[in-house]
Amino acid sequence: MKVAPSLLSCNFAVMGEEVARVDRAGADLIHLDVMDGHFVPNITIGPDIVAAVRPFSRLPFEVHLMISDPLRYIDAFAKAGADIITFHIEADSDIDATIEQIRRCHVRPGLVVKPGTPVESVFPYLDSLYMVLIMTVEPGFGGQSFMTDMMPKITLLKEECRRRGLDVLVEVDGGVSEKTIGQAAAAGADICVSGTCVFKANDMAAAIRLLQQSDQ
């Protein structure tokens, strides 16, 4: 299990230092949530912030776009230092065009599905994807409770990828902690996004190791 700490739970006053801290603690990726106040009822960061914290770690930056028109901002986030850009299948932008633009910027593309969206909606695009992110909370705010009933989506997605011989990574995001990670691992998740569990831990490195070892 790879662990991608979500900066949504970090201390924004020292965000660069927080990036460096999770890097030293053994994280596998850095997860950056981008919200526009329209697609979801919250506003977070933009490309300038991603660029500002990029020098604090060499870990892959995964930028999760919770915005209505992701296609419009792909170039900006790619230039800011994103290694992976995920966007919602429920967004307004043309999906194929957005995936193609991400690839054109030499960034790895991923699709995200909200809890109410059938996972089958991403199947037509799997050949073009690096990752699929299954939301295990309603997107918009950190600290929500893990939705156990999202686990069949992971299993179904992994089965479809195996059937087609695809090596698409499956990520879960929302309410992931030492108490819920076992369910995600058992369902077949490859990566977990964890905010509160990592940033509020007394021992960040121990918290990350615990999550990483959940599938052993």
The reply to whether 69 belongs to the active site is no
39 token code pair: 């697609």
State the burial class of residue 49 (Cβ atoms within 10 Å of its Cβ: 0-12, 13-18, 19+).
Answer: middle
The reply to whether 94 belongs to the active site is no
Residues 6+ apart with CB under 8 A from 183: 146, 148, 151
Q: From CA 169, how far away is CA 191, in angstroms rounded?
A: 7
Q: Give the chain's length.
A: 216
State the burial class of residue 140 (Cβ atoms within 10 Å of its Cβ: 0-12, 13-18, 19+).
Answer: middle
User: Which DSSP string do the residues of 1-21 spell out, in sequence order?
Assistant: -EEEEBGGGS-GGGHHHHHHH
E-assigned strand segments in the chain: 2-5, 30-35, 61-66, 84-88, 108-113, 131-135, 169-173, 191-194
Identify the active-site residue in 28, 92, 173, 203: 173
Identify the active-site residue in 33, 75, 83, 203: 33
Catalytic residues: 33, 173
